[in-house]
Structure 1
Amino acid sequence: MDIVSKLNRELLEQDFLKEQPASDELFRYKEIARHYACMEKSIAVLSDMRTNTSYIYYGGFSKTLGIEHADREGVVYSIWEESILKLIHPDDLHSKYLQELRFFHFMKRQPVGKRFDYYLMNKLRMKNAAGNYLPVLHRLYYMAVLPGSNNLWLALCLYNPLLFDISGKGVVVNAVTGQMNELESNQDSGILSEREKQILRLIDQGMTSRDIAETLCISIHTVSRHRQEILGKLQVRNSIEACRIARDLKIIL
């Protein structure tokens, strides 16, 4: 899906430092994920954005979904846990990706010292072992930044049965205060600058970089730089995908 490409660019192409984190630091967070799976019977997925690797811990809920794993732990060389994601209703999966992109930008706007006060909570429909959809609670936590960097390094996703309904499709929870706020679509407009939105609208109209440069009285080099910024912020590979995702997010109409 295009939104996956966009998320890949946002999450995996952060400017991580070349230094590797201490091995005991990653081990500590893997143990946290393992304990969530054990205590809450969750499926817990710890994703390392620096190495594009996920560590999956299969709590008791995995049996309900028909994905029980004999080793209780799996490693996937991707931040996308396909064996789990394929069970999500297609409509909910697309919404999940959009909410995660919004949450990523929400987190990037927060002061570094406050980022880990928040997590994303949303409801999904997932197929159980019998092939029927059941309501599931999904939570996303950004766990850590890479030492010496302000970039988000580790993310933890938890999947549990939905025991209570939540308003909206995506809710940001402040775990310190208990305050909950929906991720409103009007927040999407801040992902791109006004100039980037202007250029993307012209791209959507079929204009070339030279046409855009002449229309806006700027250099082709400047247009090219803005195009690359747009692709990076929307986490897509080309302008066609950028326009499609921007329409999904109501950044352009």
Structure 2
Amino acid sequence: MFLYMGSKNNPSFLGSAWNLWLNRRSSNSSQIESRSKESYYFIYNCEINELEYISSSILDVLGYTAEEFDLNKLFLSIHPDDLDYCNKCEYSSFQLRDRVFYKELFTYLISYSFRLRTKAGNYITIKQQYQTIETDECGRMFKNFVHHEKIDDYETRSEFDFQIIDKIKNRSINFSSKFKLTKREVEILDLINEGYQSKEISEILNVSYHTVRTHRKNILSKTESSSLIEALKKNNV
């Protein structure tokens, strides 16, 4: 199932089902309802291609009541200049979902930002995060949880805007490919993130202390970071 959102010149929405728009946060609605008034959430049912629930806080963000808002209005509200970017993000997430075992779908969070038109007619920047919360008996995505949060507008979108996040490891899985890190460098960065020192890492990975130090230097160089803390900030959510 892949969402086609059209393009700037052809803002049509095609496909057998809308793609998944989900959230990394807990499915406990009371927790999310108490969050900032600058955010709202909804559940998307892939099978019937509809939004089953929209939080009332959408009124504070977009100016619509939950009853006024639906899937079609959401897509038609996306800024025309952001359609191609959204398509690219969704295509990348689709490629991931197409190759992982269905139980792994619950592990990943997709995150990126775009502009939405409010009921008043002005555009605001939204950070969208989503994840699978239910699959059907065949392992296909069935229900998805989506969280939209209003963020500060920007002139240039960050190169780290699109993230596919492994919630168990608490890091972006597209981070390593972005900086061309090796598998070993990613392993070492994960261990550093867990609090291990170089000597401990050398014992865990059964490599020399000097090798670990070399990998650390390579990580700093490839990520253009002045410290491992900075590299971890680029790597983590």
TM class by shorter chain equals: 0.5 to 0.7
Matched residue, 2:114 = 124
**Shift of residue 46 of structure 1?**
1.2
Q: Which amino acid aligns with 1:134?
A: I
Q: Distance in 2 between matches of 1:58 and 1:86?
A: 19
Separation in 1, partners of 2:75, 2:27? 22
User: Are the aligned partners of 1:119 and 1:174 in contact in 2 as well (CA < 8 Å)?
Assistant: yes
- The code of the aligned residue for 1:45 comes to F
Shift of 1:82: 2.0
Match of 1:177 in 2: 169
* Residue of structure 1 equivalent to 2:105: 115
Q: Which has the higher helix share?
A: 1
Question: Which residue in 2 is equivalent to 1:49?
Answer: 46
Q: 1:92–1:124: 8 Å Cα contact kept in structure 2?
A: yes
Partner of 1:5: 14
Percent of aligned pairs with the same amino acid: 15
- Amino acid of the structure 1 residue aligned with 2:129: R
- Counterpart of 1:180 in structure 2: which amino acid? S
| Separation in structure 2 between the aligned mates of residue 34 and residue 94 of structure 1, nearest angstrom | 32
- For these two proteins, the number of residue pairs brought into alignment is 158
Q: Which has the higher contact order (CA 8 A, sep 6+)?
A: 1
Give the alignment's TM-score, normalised by structure 2.
Answer: 0.54
Query: Normalising to structure 1: TM-score of the pair?
Result: 0.51
Are the equivalent residues in 2 in contact too, given 1:47–1:54 (CA < 8 A)? Answer: yes
Contact in 1 for aligned 2:102/2:140 (Cα 8 Å): no
SS in 2 for 1:98: helix
In 2, Cα distance between equivalents of 1:121 and 1:56: 20
Consecutive unaligned residues in structure 2, runs of 5 or more: 7-11, 21-25, 179-237
Partner of residue 134 from structure 1, selected from 124, 127, 132 = 124
**1:162 aligned residue (120, 145, 151):** 151
Q: Is the 8 A contact 2:61 2:150 kept in 1?
A: no
Equivalent residue runs for 1:1-253 within 5 Å: 1-2=5-6, 4-6=13-15, 8=16, 32=27, 34-35=29-30, 38-40=33-35, 41=37, 42-69=39-66, 81-146=71-136, 148-162=137-151, 167-182=159-174
Cα distance, 1:118 vs. partner?
0.6
CA contact (8 A) 1:55 1:75 kept: no
2:34 partner SS? helix
SS in 1 for 2:47: coil
Gaps of 5+ in 1: 13-30, 186-253
Report how far residue 37 of structure 1 moved: 5.0
What do you get for the CA RMSD once the two structures are aligned? 3.5
The amino acid that maps onto 1:161 is K
Give CA-to-partner distance per residue, 1:74-94, whole Å, 9 cap, x none. 795xxxx12222222112133
